[in-house]
Amino acid sequence: MMQDKTLNGFTLPPLGPLASPGYAPIEPELRDALLLVAVPTLSAVMFQMGLHSRFFTGLRPLNPDQPRFCGAAWTVRAIPVREDIRTAISSRAAPSLNRLALDAAPEGSVVVCGSGGHPSVAFMGDIMSTALISRGVAGIVLDTGISDASLVARMSLPVVCAGRDAVSSFSAIMVVGCNEPIGVHHVAVFPGDIIVGDADGAVCVPRHLAMQIAGMAAEQERLEAYVIERVRAGVPIDIAYPPNADTLAAYRLWCAQQDSAA
């Protein structure tokens, strides 16, 4: 458990077990359960639980046909660039944390970069994407653009980002940390939180709730499959969804029949 910290006389409360203390790989069972459900369903279930800021609004898949992806968040934090530091990095008098942070991304992780929102620059392109593929990274979520987008979109690495841009991020931002809490398009992301992405975008799932959310989302998708059948049969939407008491009773009977036939 994290301890209290004092900053200029202000005591920061302990985050405790609800916020991940650092990166840890996702369990295969949890990963498989989350990959079975769509991002909109996960977002809807979390919204019902009071988690209203878990979807990365404004970020879109670079390739709408990309496969679903899931992994623990490897966080990268960027801030506005300082010119003397940029000069030192360019001359190799100082290390490039951009490269070091990505080189440290664990296999199976989802790299999540928070820069404060710089859609008009590209945090990475085809070379960094190739390097991350070779490391076995599961996906990328960026609040910046991405360069070489036509090439990266054809790669096996799923990318959710703010758009396409050819201007280097080094013109505006620089990486100052990794594996620490960040903000990405108004979403708080802690290292080790679970990121799930598909053709609709990406969500950040609190790790300690992830298995519960996966189960609720699977049940929600089963209910919605039944509702779609009812709507196709001509049942009015006002009755079918949200389901009233009669529809829920019929759904439970339908589930029992489905389970007995399995």
126 annotated as belonging to a binding site for a ligand: yes
Cα separation, 168 vs 145, whole angstroms: 9
- Which regions of the chain does DSSP assign to beta strands (E)? 5-7, 10-12, 60-61, 69-80, 110-122, 139-146, 159-161, 163-164, 173-178, 182-184, 187-189, 194-198, 201-205
Q: Is the peptide bond before 242 cis (omega within 30 degrees of 0)?
A: yes
58 is an annotated ligand-binding site residue:
no
128 assigned ligand-binding residue: yes
SS3 state of residue 130: helix
Nearest in space to 159 (alpha carbons), one of 255, 47, 229, 65: 65
Q: DSSP letter string over 93-123? A: SS--HHHHHHHTPPTT-EEEEEEEEEEEEES
Phi, psi of 174 (to 5 degrees): -145, 145
Strand partners for 196? 70, 203
Which of these, 69, 78, 16, 14, lies nearest to 207 by C-alpha position? 16
Q: What CA–CA distances, in Å, run from 30 to 22, 41, 72, 260? A: 18, 16, 11, 26
* Pick from 179, 205, 181: nearest CA to 55: 205
* Residue 146 marked as a ligand binder: no
**Is-contact 78 113, C-beta < 8 A?**
yes
User: Is 173 known as a binding-site position?
Assistant: no
Distance from C-alpha of 127 to C-alpha of 158, rounded to nearest angstrom: 15
Residues annotated in a binding site for substrate: 125-128
Binding residues: 125-128, 148
The binding site for Mg(2+) consists of 148
